[in-house]
Amino acid sequence: MIYLAPLQGFTDYVYRASYAEVFNTVDAYFIPYISLKNNEIPNKYIREILPENNAQSRVIPQILAKDAAEFELLENVLTDHGYSEFNLNLGCPYPMVTNRGKGSGLLPFPDEIYKILDHFFSQSKGTLSVKLRAGLKSADELKDVVKVLNQFPLKEVILHARVADQLYSGEIDENAFSYAIENLKHKLVYNGDIFSKQDFLDKQNKFHGVDTWMLGRGILMNPLLPHEIKGIELSGKERADLLFSFQQTMLKRYLEIMDNEGNALNKMRQFWSYFAYCFPNPKKAFKHIKKLKALNKYNPTVKSIFNELNG
Ligand SMILES: Cc1cc2nc3c(=O)[nH]c(=O)nc-3n(C[C@H](O)[C@H](O)[C@H](O)COP(=O)(O)O)c2cc1C
């Protein structure tokens, strides 16, 4: 199985719905985290969780909370919107978040994680999975966290085996992932640095028994990667047609929901910062999109970028 990772600012509901409409090759969609600001949920998070914006068959919202009280508040809002499966974020690496004791900021405090899970499993009817890093500062933190996670009936655990200090670069700690395979009693999902079919095969060879893979940037850079991993063969023309239709679907949906074309164009620029990697010269492709001043030049520019793919 392949899961689409939550990527704040990228895999928003427009992306998820367009992806499902055009490709439909991932088995679950994770909504980027929702969290409280001044004890309230910002509107931008509510839009992301509305049922009408999440029609795919399995969509899992993610909660970023510092303690059981915050978690419960967010869980209640999600329950009111019809969700019964939740994911706890123990991975966000940014100091703005970790300094407030959220995301991977909780990893050095397994007792706090215990309290959140204990509270959830004593009062909730829903199911819960956890997405975590190997540690905040050191992968040694993983050992005590695994002990806590093993005490609860989690649905699954998704591990991005980097420490938070690495952010998104540097080596994945494969020993930490192997440690989790050996010591976690839950289903374990692999996440991190799968950018090609070969990357996937390498990880599959190393980590026997893992059958679910969460992909983030690899899908943003090549939305057809799940096709490749699942062995769905496509001609060059079919690939180009699907990719073309994907960005058109995104644009159409952004235009429907944005109050002006400039905002829709900004969202498409952001989308292309990764999507440009579908083309032989990503820097050049992205440069063309970046310098667009108005939406009326978008389609001709995109057509010329796609021409390079075809010819
Ligand atoms: C821009 C960006 C935003 C992200 N937002 C989230 C998020 O909201 N929740 C989360 O659990 N992880 C988030 N992540 C981490 C990804 O879900 C994933 O764990 C990470 O990118 C490693 O997987 P990949 O190498 O397949 O991209 C984010 C990553 C990036 C680059």
- pLDDT of amino acid 222: 98
The Å distance, Cα 289 to ligand 1 centre, comes to 24
Residues 38 and 173 in one domain: yes
Rg value, the chain, Cα = 20
- Looking at 214, 230, 246, the residue that finishes a domain is 230
Residues 112 and 253 in one domain: no
**CATH number of 67's domain:** 3.20.20.70
Residues 193 and 125 in one domain: yes
| Ligand 1 close to Cβ of residue 32 (< 6 A) | yes
Query: DSSP characters for 59-87?
Result: EE-EE--SSHHHHHHHHHHHHHTT--EEE
For ligand 1, atom 5: residue with the closest CA: 7
Residues 289 and 224 in one domain: no
pLDDT at 308 over 90: no
- Looking at 230, 262, 288, the residue that finishes a domain is 230
Residues 18 and 93 in one domain: yes
**Spatial separation of the C-alpha atoms in residues 76 and 74, rounded to whole Å:** 5
pLDDT at 111 over 80: yes
Give the mean model confidence (pLDDT) for residues 193-221: 98
Residues 128 and 274 in one domain: no
pLDDT at 158 over 80: yes
- Nearest Cα neighbor of 22 from 260, 263, 234 is 234
5, 216 contact by CB (below 8 A): yes
Residues 253 and 202 in one domain: no
The Å distance, Cα 34 to ligand 1 centre, comes to 14
**Domains held by the chain: number:** 2
Residues 153 and 55 in one domain: yes
| Ligand 1 close to Cβ of residue 11 (< 6 A) | no
- pLDDT of amino acid 311: 58
The Å distance, Cα 5 to ligand 1 centre, comes to 6
- pLDDT of amino acid 141: 98
Residues 296 and 156 in one domain: no
Residues 217 and 281 in one domain: no
The Å distance, Cα 286 to ligand 1 centre, comes to 21
Span 13-61, pLDDT tens digits: 999 999 999 999 999 999 999 999 999 999 999 999 999 999 999 999 9
Residues 92 and 150 in one domain: yes
What percentage of the chain has pLDDT greater than the value 70? 100
| Ligand 1 close to Cβ of residue 194 (< 6 A) | yes
CA torsion, points 196, 130, 132, 98, in degrees to nearest 10? Answer: 130
**Spatial separation of the C-alpha atoms in residues 193 and 185, rounded to whole Å:** 24
Nearest ligand 1 atom, CA 194: 26
| Ligand 1 close to Cβ of residue 94 (< 6 A) | no
pLDDT at 310 over 80: no
| Ligand 1 close to Cβ of residue 222 (< 6 A) | no
66, 106 contact by CB (below 8 A): yes
Q: Domain limits at 266?
A: 236-310
Nearest ligand 1 atom, CA 191: 23
The Å distance, Cα 217 to ligand 1 centre, comes to 8
Name the DSSP letter for residue 33.
P
Residues 77 and 195 in one domain: yes
- Looking at 178, 199, 230, the residue that finishes a domain is 230
